[in-house]
């Protein structure tokens, strides 16, 4: 099959992702009442599929949605979306939407909605320009705050991103690559699609509140452990970041990327730091070793058996 822009699954059908729409009356649009997750595929293998499914389950639980499918069935659908698109490097989205309220609008009782599951594959992408993985990224200290967990729980992956988008305008206007948002109480949180890390006195530190608990962030903790580096959460200020020995970001869309500049200030000597580069390289080396991976074709083969005769 030829490469495509991605294949989606919606209401029992696989179709080109460009053809999948949501009604403007659907609360998934008109209230952004939807949770999601994105798992990457590299060289035909999902990375940490079980962790993404666990987080997707936790997101659904927080917003009180139920997927109409079992996790096994969802895995099969995700694998099909990748396989049918002919993509060996992909981002694979899984969404759960509230579904229509009785009467079809968005007034009434959200508890009685029939929640829906949508999935799609998309060619792999980098949340910052790809060359930054080598040269380092320029972050911007945004003024726009990340909404706090007490209002919008950032552990729950949602499309409520007005704060991130506003901060992105700030960063781009300043000529930087991406913003980092403070919490409303003044500590750093995250940027659009990535977690933040600094190196201070040889320790590796990352925010612990009001941000998504990234799966690549989890991976960084494990890689640090393999390297005998101490990694922990900490309340970090803008000054901590700007005066750090090193800094880097972690993301499904690009792995580990060194930070070389924050607002008007260079980090260290302005080149990617040593610990950052070691983690970045180890990340890709481990992925090449099939660490935490699940083969797309293997998943499909295993189910061909179990599904035989169930159509």
Q: Hunting for tokens 């007490």 — which residue is that?
A: 150
Using CB under 8 A as the binding rule, whether residue 30 contacts a second copy is answered as: yes
Beta bridge partners, 96, equal 35, 117
Whichever of 31 and 134 has its CB closer to a second copy, that residue is 31
Q: Hunting for tokens 């983690």 — which residue is that?
A: 279
Number of residues that bind a second copy (CB under 8 A): 57
Determine which residue in the list 78, 96, 127, 259 makes contact with a second copy, applying CB under 8 A. Answer: 127
Determine which residue in the list 50, 89, 105, 266 makes contact with a second copy, applying CB under 8 A. Answer: 105
Quick check: 88 and 46 in contact, CB under 8 A? no
Residue of 260, 141, 139, 163 whose CA lies nearest to 211: 163
Residues with Cβ within 8 Å of residue 206, at least 6 apart in sequence:
195, 196, 197, 198, 217, 220, 231, 232, 233, 234, 236
* Shortest Cβ 163–a second copy spacing (Å): 5
Using CB under 8 A as the binding rule, whether residue 12 contacts a second copy is answered as: no
Query: Side-chain half-sphere of 61: how many Cα atoms within 13 Å?
Result: 7
Map the footprint of a second copy across residues 144-173, applying CB under 8 A: 144-148, 150-153, 156, 158-166, 168-169, 172
Using CB under 8 A as the binding rule, whether residue 122 contacts a second copy is answered as: yes
* Residues at the site binding a second copy, with contacts judged by CB under 8 A: 5, 8, 17-18, 20-25, 27-33, 63-64, 95, 98, 104-105, 107, 109-111, 118, 120, 122, 125-127, 144-148, 150-153, 156, 158-166, 168-169, 172, 184, 253
């Amino acid at each position: 099959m030829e490469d495509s822009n991605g294949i989606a699954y919606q209401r029992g059908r696989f179709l080109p992702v460009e053809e999948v729409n949501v009604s403007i009356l659907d609360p998934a649009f008109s209230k952004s009442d939807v949770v999601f997750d994105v798992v990457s595929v590299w060289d035909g293998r999902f990375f940490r599929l079980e962790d993404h499914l666990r987080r997707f389950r936790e997101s659904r639980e927080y917003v009180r949605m139920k997927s109409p499918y079992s996790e096994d069935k969802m895995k099969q659908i995700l694998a099909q979306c990748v396989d049918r698109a002919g993509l060996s490097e992909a981002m694979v989205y899984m969404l759960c939407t509230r579904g229509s309220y009785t009467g079809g609008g968005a007034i009434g009782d959200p508890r009685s909605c029939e929640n829906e599951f949508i999935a799609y594959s998309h060619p792999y992408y980098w949340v910052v320009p790809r060359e930054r993985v080598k040269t380092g990224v320029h972050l911007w200290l945004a003024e726009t705050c990340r909404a706090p967990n007490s209002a919008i729980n950032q552990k729950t992956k949602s499309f409520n991103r007005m704060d991130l988008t506003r901060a992105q305008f700030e960063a781009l206007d300043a000529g930087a690559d991406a913003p980092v948002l403070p919490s409303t109480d003044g500590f750093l949180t995250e940027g659009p699609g990535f977690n933040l890390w600094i190196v201070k006195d040889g320790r590796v530190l990352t925010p612990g509140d009001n941000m998504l608990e990234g799966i690549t962030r989890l991976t960084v903790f494990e890689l640090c452990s393999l390297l005998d580096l101490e990694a922990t959460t900490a309340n970090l200020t803008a000054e901590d970041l700007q005066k750090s020995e090193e800094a880097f970001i972690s993301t499904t869309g690009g792995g580990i990327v060194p930070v070389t500049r924050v607002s008007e200030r260079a980090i260290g000597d302005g080149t990617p730091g040593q610990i950052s580069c070691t983690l970045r390289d180890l990340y890709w080396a481990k992925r090449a070793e099939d660490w935490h991976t699940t083969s797309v074709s293997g998943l499909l083969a295993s189910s061909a058996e179990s599904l035989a005769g169930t159509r």
